[in-house]
Structure 1
Amino acid sequence: MTDGPIETARLQLRNLTSADVTECYLSWLSDPEVLRYLEVRFSKPGSLEELGAFVKNVNDSTDTLMFGIFRKDTGRHIGNIKLGPLKFEHARAEIGFLIGDRSSWGAGYASEAIQAVAQFGLDHLKLVKIGAGCYETNVGSMKALLKAGFLQVATIPNDVVSDGVRVASLLFAKNR
C-alpha cells in the first residue's frame, strides 16, 4: 500500500478498500468486452466475497501495488491499475490495467493512469524499468501504452489465444 493517493489532472489513483468492492466493480468482471484481453477472464471472482478477498490479498502483498482509478470530477471508480510484481533486485516491475467502466473508454484515462503509476515507480520506488504487455489485437491498450511514453520492445509471435485465434503478445517498456 502507499501512503496516499497519486493525483493527475483528472484522476485520483488510490489503494482500494472494502468500500470499493461493489456490484459495479464486480460487473466489470462479467462483461465479455471488458474481459476480452484480460487474463483474469480465466479465473474471475464470482461474488463480492471473492472480489473482496482478492482486493485484501493484493493490499497485503509485499510485491504488488494496486490502485483504483477514480475520476476527480465525479469520484466514480472507473478501473484499476497494478504495479507488480515489484522486482527490487532487478529494479523493475510490470504494469497491468483495466478501464472497467465502458463509458470511460477512449477518453485517455488509461494512458493518464499508466503514465502516473510508471512515474511513481521510477521516481519513488527507484525502479529503472517498467514493463507492460498486451495482445496485438488490443489496439486500445497499445495506444494507451505508447501515449504514456512506453516503447514497444518485442513481439512474441503466436503467444496467446484471443477470440479463438493465436495472436502475438506485444511487450512494452519505459526506462528511467
Structure 2
Amino acid sequence: MTQPQRDDVSEQAQEDVLHSERVRLRHPNMKDANHVFHWERDDEVWRYDIHRPYSRTMAEFLPTFERNYVRGNGHQFWYIIEDEQRIPIGTITYFNIDRRLGQVEVGLGLGDKSRWGQGYGPEAIRALVQYLFTLPHIRRAYAETALANHPSRRAFEKVGFVEIGEIYDPRSSGEPWVLLEIWKPQHIQIPDYQNRLK
C-alpha cells in the first residue's frame, strides 16, 4: 500500500514524532532493527505474549522488520520509544483500526529491561493515546494483556484504562487475558499535537 492510498488515520501517523516529558515516539528506521531483533529474542520480554516472534536470525528478521515496521503494512503502525537521551528502549503500536466503531487497539513492548518499573511504559501509552484521540473517528482505545502480566496491566491503568473483562485466545496456553479500555471523554486533556509535532 502506498502512502497516498492510506486513510487519514494511518497517513498522518507515519510521519509524526510524539513527545512527552521523558519519552519520544518516532517512526522506526533500519538502524532500529538490531534493538528490536534482540528485544524479540529475549524470553523475559516475551514471557506473556502469545504472538511470539519467529525470526531465528537477523537475516530472516530484516525483511520482516523493513516491511512491517519501517515501510508499514497499512494495518499496524509502529513507533520506537526513546528515553531522554534518545536511546531506543522499546516499541509501541496501534492496530485493528475500526472506523465504524471508532476504536483502535494499542500494544506496548518495553524491550530494555533496565527501564522496567520506571514509568516509561505509561508515559509512552499516554503520548500515543493522546495523539490517537486527536484523530477523526477514534473514540475508544483498548488493549489486551495476559492476566498474569501485572506490570502491563498497571501501565495501562496508570493512564486511565479500565479492565472490562477477561478474554481467551485459542492460540494461548489457555491462560486468560484481560481486556482494558479508555474512552475519549474520560481521557485527560488532549494536547494540541499540531503545534508539538516535529
Q: Normalized against structure 1, the TM-score is what?
A: 0.87
Q: Mind listing any 5+ residue stretches in structure 1 that lack a counterpart?
A: none
Residue of structure 1 aligned with 2:55, choices 45, 48, 62: 45
Flag the 1:158–1:20 CA change in 2: closer, same or farther, 3 A: closer
Q: CA deviation at 1:122?
A: 1.3
Using a 3 Å threshold, how does the CA distance of structure 1 residues 2 and 129 change in structure 2: closer, same or farther?
same
Is contact 1:133-1:169 (8 Å) kept? Answer: yes
**Which residue identity lines up with residue 130 of structure 2 in the other structure?**
Q
Aligned length: 169
Shift of the alpha carbon at 1:60? 2.6
Paired with 1:113 and 1:14, the residues of 2 have a C-alpha distance of 11
Does the 8 A contact of 2:45 with 2:113 survive in 1? yes
Length-normalised TM-score, structure 2: 0.78
Whole-angstrom CA distance in 1 between matches of 2:65 and 2:99 = 22
Overall identity of the aligned pairs, in % = 23
| Equivalent residue number for residue 181 of structure 2 | 173
Partner Cα distance (1:5, 1:158) in 2: 33
Residue in 2 aligned with 1:93? Answer: 104
Which residues of structure 2 form unaligned runs of 5+?
Answer: 1-12, 185-198
Aligned counterpart for 1:110 among listed residues 118, 121, 130: 121
| Structure-2 separation of matches of 1:8 and 1:50 | 34
Kindly indicate whether the alpha-carbon contact (under 8 Å) linking 1:16 and 1:67 is maintained by their aligned counterparts in 2. yes
The 5-angstrom pairing of residues 82-161 of structure 1 reads: 82-156=93-167, 160-161=172-173
Cα deviation digits, residues 100-157 of structure 1 (max 9, x gap) = 1110100111111111111111113440111101111000000001001101111236
1:32-68 residue CA offsets vs partner (Å, 9 max, x unmatched):
1101012332x43223333332333223322221101
Aligned-CA RMSD value: 1.9
Which residue of the partner structure matches residue 64 of structure 1?
76
More strand by share: 1
1:31 counterpart SS class: coil
CA contact (8 A) 2:15 2:27 kept: no
Q: Equivalent residue of 1:154, what SS?
A: strand
Given that 1:17 and 1:55 are in contact with CA atoms closer than 8 Å, whether structure 2 keeps it comes out as no
Q: Aligned in 2, Cα 1:89/1:47: closer, same or farther, shift over 3 Å?
A: farther
